[in-house]
Structure formats: structure tokens, C-alpha cells
Chains A and B, each alone.
Chain A
């Protein structure tokens, strides 16, 4: 069964360092997303990506964040200068692109900023 894969599963980084979280969405899906979940809190939307550009972003997704689909299969989230409050589980998701269809999530990357 096709699945969304994310790497790494766990990333520890020093405050102020740049991190790149990687995702391989399900093949032939057209919409891609990043969500995050701070420990004990709800899953929060960060950004959606369609047709090689950001289609929507939340207030959380400030200038420190960027997304890219560099090669037609990978989808990356970059945090330029990490802060302690960026520590969370980051989930990538993809959707086929049709109206009213479910999003499929990866297993997540646990980011710990120390």
C-alpha cells in the first residue's frame, strides 16, 4: 500500500541551526502539506503546496520556514534558525488533488531543539 515516508524519524539540533525535514509523498498525489504537533497539543496546519507553489500557509509559517519540491518526488521543510519552541513532531501529508478527499500522513519527524 502506498505511503508517505519521512526522514529522519528523529532530529536533534542546536538552537539557531538550520534543519531540513524530508518527505516523499504518495506518487501521483498533487497536494502536499506540513503539519506539526507540539507534545500534548493538537495537530496544527503549517503549509500546503500545489503546482510547485505555496497555496496556503498559517501564521506559524513565518520567514524562518520554507518548503521546496526539488525533484518531483521529495518535499522538504526547512527551518532556517531553529528555536526551542520549534521542538515538535512534524508530519508531512499528501492528497490526490480531487475535491473532498482525505490526506494521508507520514509517521513524522520528531525535532528536538536544544
Chain B
């Protein structure tokens, strides 16, 4: 069964304290791995797509990497406005085009 597991469930950082969020996945033929940011009561906001092992994408203080079993979202020198839930999702191979989401990591960055 296709599955996405994110860790930790929650992370509290001081402003400027870098860290990483983990997304491990089991999927039949990965077509793409997606990172989204979700603010309370809002819809997921797209951040990155990764397609193959070894790929990396960067956007401001965020950098996403992908291996054959997991993805990391590295947050460098975070600011309070980076506080949100970060969601990982995968799209399996074959005829499906749905996204399978993990439960997310709730990040709180304190000033």
C-alpha cells in the first residue's frame, strides 16, 4: 500500500535555528514528490516538486531533497513567518493522478 510518513509531528525552533523535516514514502513507482505549506484554516500552498533521486530544489530559506526512500525539507535560519504545517505528498506511477499526503509537520518558529 502506498504510504507517506512525516516526522517529527511537531517542531519548535528559535529564529535562526536551522533544521530538517523528514518525509519517508513507500510507493509503487514514484511519479513525483510534492511539498506544500499549510497555514491554519487554509488550503495547501505549493512549494516544490521533486521527480527523481538526487534532485534538489530551493526557495528562499527552504531546500528540498529526494532519495529513493525519503525526502528532506531543510529550513535554514528560519523566521517566525515560516511557522506553518508542512505537508509532503506523493503521486504514484501508473494510471493514478491522485496525491497521497502525510500527516504533516507543524513548525513553530519563535522570535
Residues of chain A at the chain B interface (Cβ within 8 Å) = 4, 6, 31, 33, 35, 41-45, 48, 50, 55-56, 58, 89, 91, 95, 99-108, 110
Inside 8 A of A110's CB, which chain B residues have their CB?
A: 41
**Given A42-B103, A100-B32, A100-B51: A105 in contact with B98 (beta carbons within 8 A):** no
Chain A facing B: main interface SS: strand
Instruction: List 7 A-B pairs, minimum CB-CB distance, nearest first.
Output: A105-B43, A45-B98, A43-B101, A105-B44, A42-B103, A107-B43, A102-B46
Instruction: Establish whether residues A44 and B101, one from each chain, have CB atoms under 8 Å apart when the complex forms.
Output: yes
A42 to chain B, nearest CB (A): 5
Number of interface residues of B (CB under 8 A): 25
Query: What are 5 A-B interface contacts by the 8 Å CB criterion?
Result: A41-B103, A91-B43, A95-B97, A105-B44, A107-B42
Instruction: Establish whether residues B44 and A91, one from each chain, have CB atoms under 8 Å apart when the complex forms.
Output: yes
Inside 8 A of A89's CB, which chain B residues have their CB?
A: 41
Instruction: Establish whether residues B99 and A103, one from each chain, have CB atoms under 8 Å apart when the complex forms.
Output: yes
Instruction: Establish whether residues A104 and B46, one from each chain, have CB atoms under 8 Å apart when the complex forms.
Output: yes
Q: Which residue of B lies closest to A3 (CB)?
A: B43
Inside 8 A of A108's CB, which chain B residues have their CB?
A: 41-43
Instruction: Establish whether residues A100 and B49, one from each chain, have CB atoms under 8 Å apart when the complex forms.
Output: yes
For the complex, give the distance between the alpha carbons of A95 and B32 in Å: 14
Q: Which residue of A lies closest to B98 (CB)?
A: A45
Inside 8 A of B32's CB, which chain A residues have their CB?
A: 100, 102
